[in-house]
Amino acid sequence: MKFVVIGGTGLIGSKLVAILSARGHEAVAAAPSTGVDTLTGEGLAGVLAGASVVVDVSNSPSFEDGPVLEFFETSTRNLLTAEAAAGVGHHVALSVVGAERLPDSGYLRAKVAQEKLIEGSSIPFSIVHATQFFEFVRGIADTGTENGTFRVAPVAFQPIASDDVAAEVGKVAVGAPLNGRVEIGGPDRYRMDEFFRNALAAWNDPREVVTDPRARYFGTELTERSLVPDEGALLGTISYGDWPDRVPAGS
C-alpha cells in the first residue's frame, strides 16, 4: 500500500515514515521541502497518485489565532479535495486531547475546525487525539514563564513520548477507517504543577514554579480534566522518567 505522510519530515512524520516503511509499505514524506505544499496545493496531485492512505501530521508555522486557523482550514480543504480526486480511501489526522474543551485557545479552535472539515468530507477517516509530547515539556515551561516565574495550574497532566504517538498513528493508518476518534496518552498521570517542579529541578533550572489555579495554558484556563484523555484511552509504553531525553545535555 502507498501511504502519503503530510508533514512527513517533522517529529512525528519522520518516525511514521520509518515505521510504515519497516512494515513493507511505500511511505512517502510530503512537505514543502519535498515539493508538496498543502497551503497552495502545489505537488498534491502528483504525490497522491496511487495513494491508499493519507496521514496528516503537519503543523502550522504560526500559532497566532488568525494564521493558525487559516493554515488548518486551507491546508485541510486542499488536501481533502486532492484526495477525493485521487481516490484515497482513508484520511488519518493527528489532533489534540481536549481540543474541543478549550475554546479560548486559538490553536485548539483551529484543530477543531480541521476536524469538522474531515468529518464533513466524503473520505473515510480516523482522528487520533494525543496528549502533549515529552518533547514539548520545555517549550510549555518557556511559554508560561514571566519574569523568571512559571505559573502552572494544579490539574491532571499525562504527557506522551512522540515514539508512542507515531506507533499508534501507524496502527490506525494500516487499519480500517474508524470514522471517529481514538485517544492516546502517556502511561503515567501527574499533577501538572508537581510535574514541572520536578522537571525544572532535574534540569537545574532556577525558575520558580508557582501553583496557580488561574494560570493560563496557551491562552486558556484549565480544569482538572482539560488535558487528559477519557477512560478507555490507549496508553503509551514509555514513562517520562525512562525517556532518554528527559534531561537535555547541558542541563
pLDDT tens readout for residues 29-49: 999 999 999 999 999 999 999
pTM of the entire structure?
0.94
Please enumerate in sequence order all residues whose Cβ is within 8 A of that of 136, keeping only pairs 6 or more positions apart, or say none: 159
When pLDDT is cut at 50, 70 and 90, the band that residue 250 belongs to is low
Q: What per-residue confidence (pLDDT) applies to 132? A: 97
Q: What per-residue confidence (pLDDT) applies to 71? A: 97
pLDDT tens readout for residues 156-189: 999 999 999 999 999 999 999 999 999 999 999 9
Do residues 225 and 154 touch, judged by C-beta distance below 8 A? no
Q: What per-residue confidence (pLDDT) applies to 41? A: 96
Question: Residue 179 corresponds to which amino acid?
Answer: N
What is the share, in percent, of the chain residues with pLDDT greater than 70? 98
When pLDDT is cut at 50, 70 and 90, the band that residue 218 belongs to is confident
Do residues 123 and 90 touch, judged by C-beta distance below 8 A? yes
Maximum CA extent, the chain: 55
Q: What per-residue confidence (pLDDT) applies to 176? A: 98
R_g (Cα) of the chain, nearest Å: 18
pLDDT tens readout for residues 72-97: 999 999 999 999 999 999 999 999 99
On the 0-12 / 13-18 / 19+ scale of CB atoms within 10 A, 100 is: middle
**Residues facing 221 on adjacent strands:** 216
**Average pLDDT, rounded, for the chain:** 95
Mean pLDDT of the region 119-138: 97
Q: Is 2-132+160-187+228-238 a CATH 3.40.50.720 domain? A: yes
Secondary structure class of 90 (helix, strand, coil) = strand
Please enumerate in sequence order all residues whose Cβ is within 8 A of that of 119, keeping only pairs 6 or more positions apart, or say none: 125
Q: What per-residue confidence (pLDDT) applies to 248? A: 65
Rounded CA-CA distance 3/88 in Å is 10
Map grid coordinates 495550574 to a residue. 153
Q: What per-residue confidence (pLDDT) applies to 219? A: 85
